């Protein structure tokens, strides 16, 4: 089984590996149900989806009718204005077939202009706060991609007491001195304030560039179990963070298996050996 950890100050103990439901964006219901069986076998108790993940919310809806009490349920809105975000949240509730979402997140809020709009008086944050007041959501978070995400999240936490953040974390990103410094500052701030830290792109090999895209992830993933084991153990070897699984169902069993067996954190030398052998490169520069 995968260990659990307090998810910030929410009172929920989430499995340290969270199901990233982007993997359901183009899945059939049968494929989704097979994924649910796998999650239940590993004891995964936290699902992270988004309004923009294709059919993912629709695929999760039938699960919630049977297993709502077993999962901390998170989704996201990519809207930046109040009215559109309010409609997005209400639509997600319908698609997920629930009366309440545990965590609503402002999706990929990194661009400066979008950040100002979303956190302004007529922005998406106002819709999320209103939804919380109405009992439609319990907690509010913010997510981001790219090298600016940790710094932007830290600024977001100065504007509003978000309950959770999400950003990339892998060996090649942390070899960027600027990104590493911003990530360390963010995680220290989150630890002091009881904010949950979710990480993505943990098994990234690098950008696809001109290669044929053989997985539905928008980055090229590590594929061999020993390499995935090492990457997952490296992420989970950092105290206090969560690992969100990759956006292709074919990778899900490998990531969950790696998480269930993760032991000591690989050494810097072991990680560098994998970086050089696989030709790993940062997804964001």
| Residue at 283 is within a domain | no
| Residue at 264 is within a domain | yes
State pTM to two decimals.
0.97
| Residue at 232 is within a domain | yes
State CA 61 to chain mean position distance. Answer: 19
**55 CB burial (10 A radius; 0-12, 13-18, 19+):** middle
Provide the angle, in degrees to the nearest 10, between the axes of the packed helices 56-67 and 82-96. Answer: 50
The token duo for 183 is 């990530």
Number of domains in the chain: 1
Which residue, among 199, 111, 198, 101, has the nearest Cα to 156 in the 3D structure?
Answer: 111
CB 171 within 8 A of CB 271: yes
Which residue, among 162, 187, 197, has the nearest Cα to 18 in the 3D structure?
Answer: 197
| Residue at 11 is within a domain | yes
| Residue at 63 is within a domain | yes
Sign of the alpha-carbon torsion through 139, 140, 146, 150: negative
Please name the residues in contact with 79: beta carbons below 8 A apart, sequence gap of 6 or more.
85, 87, 88, 124, 127
Which residue, among 224, 232, 228, 220, has the nearest Cα to 263 in the 3D structure?
Answer: 232
| Residue at 114 is within a domain | yes
| Residue at 104 is within a domain | yes
Please tell me the predicted confidence (pLDDT) of residue 1. Answer: 85
> What is the rounded distance in angstroms from the CA atom of residue 244 to the CA atom of residue 263?
18
Radius of gyration (Cα) for the chain, nearest Å? 18
Note down pLDDT in tens along the chain; length 285 residues.
Answer: 899 999 999 999 999 999 999 999 999 999 999 999 999 999 999 999 999 999 999 999 999 999 999 999 999 999 999 999 999 999 999 999 999 999 999 999 999 999 999 999 999 999 999 999 999 999 999 999 999 999 999 999 999 999 999 999 999 999 999 999 999 999 999 999 999 999 999 999 999 999 999 999 999 999 999 999 999 999 999 999 999 999 999 999 999 999 999 999 999 999 999 999 999 999 998
Which H or E run contains 85? helix 82-96
> What is the rounded distance in angstroms from the CA atom of residue 22 to the CA atom of residue 55?
9
Question: Residue 146 is part of a domain; what is its CATH number?
Answer: 3.20.20.100
| Residue at 154 is within a domain | yes
CB 18 within 8 A of CB 44: yes
Q: Give the range of the structural domain holding residue 120, as residue numbers without chain letter.
A: 4-278
């Amino acid at each position: 089984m995968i260990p659990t950890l307090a998810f910030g100050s929410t009172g929920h103990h989430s499995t340290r590996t969270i199901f990233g439901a982007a993997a359901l964006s183009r899945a059939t219901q049968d494929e989704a149900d097979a994924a649910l069986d796998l999650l239940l076998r590993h004891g995964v108790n936290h699902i992270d989806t988004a309004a923009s993940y294709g059919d993912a919310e629709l695929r999760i809806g039938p699960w919630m009718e049977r297993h709502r009490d077993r999962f901390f349920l998170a989704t996201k809105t990519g809207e930046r204005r109040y009215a559109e975000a309010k409609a997005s949240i209400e639509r997600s509730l319908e698609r997920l077939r629930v009366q309440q979402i545990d965590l609503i997140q402002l999706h990929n809020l990194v661009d400066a202009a979008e950040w100002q709009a979303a956190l302004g008086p007529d922005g998406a944050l106002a819709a999320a706060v209103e939804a919380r007041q109405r009992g439609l959501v319990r907690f509010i978070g913010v997510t981001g991609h790219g090298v600016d995400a940790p710094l932007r999240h830290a600024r977001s936490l100065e504007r509003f007491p978000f309950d959770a953040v999400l950003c990339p974390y892998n060996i090649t990103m942390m070899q960027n001195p600027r990104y590493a410094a911003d990530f360390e500052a963010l995680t220290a701030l989150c630890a002091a304030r009881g904010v949950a830290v979710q990480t993505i792109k943990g098994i990234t090999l690098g950008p696809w560039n001109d290669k044929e895209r053989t997985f539905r992830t928008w980055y090229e993933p590590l594929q061999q179990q020993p390499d995935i084991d090492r990457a997952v153990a490296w992420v989970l070897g950092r105290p206090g963070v969560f690992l969100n699984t990759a956006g292709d169902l074919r990778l899900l069993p490998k990531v969950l298996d790696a998480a269930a067996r993760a032991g000591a954190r690989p050494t810097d030398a072991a990680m560098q050996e994998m970086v050089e052998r696989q030709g790993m490169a940062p997804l964001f520069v």
